[in-house]
Structure 1
Amino acid sequence: MTQARMTRIPGIARLAVLALAWPLASAAEAPSTAPAADSAQCQVWQRELSFARSVADHDASAFAEHLHPRAAFGVERQPSIGREKIAEEWKGIVDGSAIKLEWYPDRVVVGGDGRTAFSTGPALYQDPATGKFRHGRFRSVWQQEADGAWRVIFDDGNRPEPADEAAVQAFRAGSGKACGAA
Structure 2
Amino acid sequence: MILLAALLMTATAAPSPACQVWQREQAFARSVRSHDAAAFRTFLADDAVFDVNGAHPVRGAAAIAAAWAPIVAGKAVQLDWQPAHVVLSADGRLALSSGPYVLTTHGKDETAHTSLGHFSTLWRRGRDGAWRVQFDGGDEGRLAAAAELAAFARGVDAQCPPGL
TM-score, scaled relative to structure 2:
0.84
Asked if 1:86 corresponds to 2:67, the answer is no
* Correspondent of 1:42 among 5, 19, 24: 19
Equivalent in the alignment of 2:117: 136
SS at match of 2:97: strand
What amino acid sits opposite 1:116 in the alignment? L
Greater displacement, 97-106 / 84-93: 97-106
**Runs (4+) of structure 1 moved beyond 6 Å?**
none
**Structure-2 change in CA distance of 1:172 and 1:37 (3 Å):** farther
Q: Note the aligned Cα RMSD (angstroms).
A: 1.8
Structure with the higher strand share, 1 or 2: 2
Higher RCO (CA-CA < 8 Å; seq separation 6+): 1
CA deviation after TM superposition for structure 1 residue 181, in Å: 6.3
Give the structure 1 partner of residue 142 of structure 2. Answer: 161
Structure-1 residue corresponding to 2:132: 151
Number of aligned residue pairs: 147
Match for residue 5 of structure 2? none
Letter in 1 for 2:44: L
Q: Secondary structure at the match of 1:132?
A: strand
- Please list the CA deviations of residues 76-117 of structure 1 after superposition, one character each: whole Å capped at 9, or x if unmatched: 122100000000000010010231011100100011310100
Distance 2:118 2:159 in 1: 19
Aligned-partner Cα distance in 2 for 1:98–1:142: 28
Look up the equivalent residue of 1:104 and give its one-letter code: Q
Percent identity for Structure 1 against Structure 2: 44
Residue segments in structure 2 that go unaligned for 5+ positions in a row: 1-12
Q: Decide which structure has the larger Cα Rg and report it.
A: 2
Runs of 5+ consecutive residues of structure 1 not aligned to the other structure: 1-35
- Please state if 1:76 is matched with 2:57: no
**Per-residue deviation, 1:173:** 2.3
Q: Which amino acid aligns with 1:40?
A: P
The alignment's TM-score, normalised by the length of structure 1, stands at: 0.76
Shift of 1:172: 1.2
SS across alignment from 1:45 = helix
Q: CA deviation at 1:142?
A: 0.1
Deviation per CA, 1:51-85, whole angstroms, max 9, x where unpaired? 00000110001001000000000111221000000
Shift of 1:167: 1.9
